[in-house]
Amino acid sequence: MLKKLGLLLCSIGMLLSYSAHAVVILQYHHVSDTTPKSTSVTPAQFAEQMAYLADNDFNVVSITDAVEAIKFRKAMPAKSIVITFDDGYDNIINNAAPILDKYQFPYTVFVAAEPIAAGYKGMMSWQQIRELAQGGATIANHTWEHEHLIRKLDGESDSQWLQRVEKSIVDTEEKILKETGQSVKMLAYPYGEYNSQVASLIKDLGYIGFGQQSGAAGPHSILTALPRFPVAHAYADINELKVKFTSLNMPVITQNKTDPLLEQGQWRPRLTVKLDMSDIHPHQLMCFVQGQGANKPEWLNEDEFTIQAVTDLPAGRSRYNCTAPSKSGKGYYWFSQAWVRPKNDGTWVAE
């Protein structure tokens, strides 16, 4: 009896530990009725989402507090949320900021320096960005030109390419510091694209990296590629977001592939993942290959599974997503592995 009670208390403690360390990071671009739907939520949708967080006892925390907790495995408040925006569009200050200020929610804007300096239509100015910073927003790095970091220029060697990437990141950080007084050394990869070399570079430079693959962040996440849930268009429905808002950090112990960039011709990557199964039933874990639907995992042993695309992944960006309900029914564990591949001839999809 005492042994059973001990096991029960251990299981409860494990669940509380997982829940306390999970942080859901939301990624927005536009908050507008008139911008491209693929990267937009309407002001009405954004207001509904923020009201839901406020009315349902979610704890919206700063990105710096969340990263510190993840790095040092500190407990976070239950139902912790981080709000981020990519690019620095002016509808953030016009449409999103007043709603965020209403609830006193902290948030982060990842900015690319060159589009701001060029005064592109729809971008905030540095003066507007300073206003957000003075109001409490965190301003972070999105590279100098919002370039595809994994793409080399014609004739560029590996060392030249990495030097160029480093300069883009460092120059942007210096510009943010000059304009706002902030330097949190956090980088959101443009388009969510990176590879192992870029990840190693930013680690050496002392940066935390953020991707665009979905899932809750936590102690089992990779600090050079923290997951974020993109919120836009088809992914902006409040009923679907309610599940994502309470998602848990999938307890990944090891995985055989972490580099999203696929080698030439290897368009059906096999992903093998080992999990801490304390709060997960194996038969309830299901995976999905983007564009190919459900992909039932093959269990290699009691805590390790593998999945593989049935047909070639398309040129561009794709994901494998895996989810599983916690045994308690208090939320879904969520894990995503991003992939990116060129065309068969080595060229890239035009964007």
pLDDT in tens, 121-180: 999 999 999 999 999 999 999 999 999 999 999 999 999 999 999 999 999 999 999 999
H helix intervals, 22-148: 43-55, 63-72, 90-91, 97-103, 113-117, 126-134
Integer Cα distance of 213 and 122 in angstroms: 26
165 is written with which tokens? 């990437």
pLDDT reported for residue 124? 98
Query: Containing domain of residue 263, as a range?
Result: 254-341
pLDDT reported for residue 19? 56
First vs last C-alpha separation in the chain: 62
- The domain boundary, picked from 246, 262, 295, lies at 246
Q: Which residue, among 5, 156, 159, 140, has the nearest Cα to 84 in the 3D structure?
A: 140
pLDDT reported for residue 16? 44
| Contact between residue 230 and residue 313 where contact means Cβ atoms under 8 Å apart | no
pLDDT reported for residue 9? 36
Q: What is the pLDDT of residues 284-299, one digit of tens each?
A: 999 999 999 999 999 9
Q: What is the pLDDT of residues 35-64, one digit of tens each?
A: 999 999 999 999 999 999 999 999 999 999
Mean pLDDT calculated for residue range 99-122: 97
- The domain boundary, picked from 193, 228, 246, lies at 246
Contacts of residue 67, defined as CB under 8 A and 6 or more positions apart, other chains included, come to 186, 208, 223, 226
- Looking up residue 130, the CATH number of its domain turns out to be 3.20.20.370
Q: What is the pLDDT of residues 93-108, one digit of tens each?
A: 999 999 999 999 999 9
What is the rounded average pLDDT for all residues in the chain? 94
Domain assignment of residue 165, yes or no: yes
- Looking up residue 284, the CATH number of its domain turns out to be 2.60.40.10
- Do 322 and 233 sit in the same domain of this protein? no
- Do 130 and 279 sit in the same domain of this protein? no
Q: What is the DSSP letter of 108?
A: E
Q: What is the pLDDT of residues 198-226, one digit of tens each?
A: 999 999 999 999 999 999 999 999 999 99
Residue with tokens 């599983």: 324
Residue 3 confidence class, pLDDT cut points 50, 70, 90: very low
Residue 330 confidence class, pLDDT cut points 50, 70, 90: confident
Strand partners, 18: none
- The domain boundary, picked from 246, 270, 297, lies at 246
The total of structural domains in the chain comes to 2
Integer Cα distance of 325 and 210 in angstroms: 25
pLDDT reported for residue 12? 40
Percentage above 90 pLDDT, the chain? 91
pLDDT reported for residue 20? 60
Domain assignment of residue 150, yes or no: yes
pLDDT reported for residue 21? 72
- Do 236 and 129 sit in the same domain of this protein? yes
Q: Which of 125-129, 151-155, 328-332, 333-337 has the lowest mean pLDDT?
A: 328-332
